[in-house]
Amino acid sequence: MAPSHAFSFGPAGEKGMTQRQSEAIVLRSWPFEEADLLVSLLTREQGRIKGVARHAMRSRRRFGGALEPMTCVRATYAEKPKQDLVRLDAFEILWSPLSDPVDYGRTAALELIAEVLEEALPEQAPEDAVFRLAFTTATEMQIGRIWLPVTYFALWMGRLMGWMPALGHCTVCGLDLRGQKVWYSEIADGVMCEDDRRGDSRSLSAEAIGEATRMFRSPLGELTQEDWPKGRASDLRYFAVSLLERHLERRIRSARALERL
Ligand SMILES: [Zn+2]
């Protein structure tokens, strides 16, 4: 990643502050107090943190690019003892989603990663595998090529969070379901055989499970050569998103927006 722009948020060097620098992914920002912005970041060193970018509102046009969700930055920030919010001093853009063309689908796909990371990760817990997954899938999301990285991200995120059930056996009777269609419920753990499926269950085709197996074995770059229209493994995407939604106990808005495309 080659650095392109550097933005400075304010003076550094107050007493009692610990200065830090980390690669980070911008997840969200909100207006905060007068002219400041509150920014949620996934840092490589410290996991998810929240910080204040002082006066960023007033010069929003200047900082707007660096604060776009899923921008990868080298963040310089300062921690004060016993304070949850860090002080954001400077962002150097390493990769920006705005450097490639943007449309509604690509924006919603990038938003899905930011939304899930924001909801799923506790603060101050480094998750290097999640960081790498998020960055890799975000950079593969391009206009007309979003469905593979969306599915790959949702599936792997479920696994990295420890939420992915074994797909090869019925959770009720233990029947070997490898190579077969399985059923799952949006309100219960595991997958089921046809006899044990619940009234509210949906199915996951054998082909979809085959795609999941490939995604768990292959780096994303190996799969991107193939054609991935919206309809390919759409039941797998639905399964992966609903697994995340059940554990997050909320709907993922950007995933719903994507399905309406
Ligand atoms: Zn069964």
Per residue in 110-129, pLDDT (tens digit) is: 999 999 999 999 999 999 99
Rounded to the nearest angstrom, the distance between the alpha carbon of 154 and the centre of ligand 1 is 26
Rounded to the nearest angstrom, the distance between the alpha carbon of 182 and the centre of ligand 1 is 10
Two tokens, residue 92: 């150097």
| Predicted pLDDT of residue 3 | 47
Residues 94 and 118 in one domain: no
> For tokens 């909801």, what's the residue?
119
Residues 228 and 156 in one domain: yes
Question: For the segment 11-51, what is each residue's pLDDT rounded down to a tens digit?
Answer: 555 667 899 999 999 999 998 888 889 999 999 999 999 99
Rounded to the nearest angstrom, the distance between the alpha carbon of 128 and the centre of ligand 1 is 37
Span 239-255, average pLDDT: 97
Per the document, the length of the chain is: 261
Rounded to the nearest angstrom, the distance between the alpha carbon of 209 and the centre of ligand 1 is 17
Residues 11 and 113 in one domain: no
Rounded to the nearest angstrom, the distance between the alpha carbon of 177 and the centre of ligand 1 is 9
How many domains is the chain built from?
2
Rounded to the nearest angstrom, the distance between the alpha carbon of 186 and the centre of ligand 1 is 17
Rounded to the nearest angstrom, the distance between the alpha carbon of 207 and the centre of ligand 1 is 20
Residues 119 and 198 in one domain: yes
Residues 203 and 128 in one domain: yes
Q: What is the mean pLDDT of the chain?
A: 91
Q: What is the pTM of this model?
A: 0.92
Question: For the segment 172-201, what is each residue's pLDDT rounded down to a tens digit?
Answer: 999 999 999 999 998 889 999 999 998 889
Rounded to the nearest angstrom, the distance between the alpha carbon of 240 and the centre of ligand 1 is 21
C-alpha to C-alpha distances, 224 to 99, 145, 152, 174, nearest whole angstrom = 20, 9, 11, 35
C-alpha to C-alpha distances, 173 to 124, 184, 193, 199, nearest whole angstrom = 40, 14, 8, 17
| Eight-state DSSP code of residue 99 | G
DSSP for 36-98, please give it. EEEEEEEETTTEEEEEEETTTTTTHHHHTTTTSTT-EEEEEEEE-TT-SSEEEEEEEEEE-GG
Question: Is the pLDDT confidence value at 242 over 50?
Answer: yes
Distance, in Å, from the CA atom of 104 to the CA atom of 143, rounded to the nearest integer, reads: 9
* DSSP-based three-state secondary structure for 238: helix
Residues 27 and 108 in one domain: no
Rounded to the nearest angstrom, the distance between the alpha carbon of 167 and the centre of ligand 1 is 12
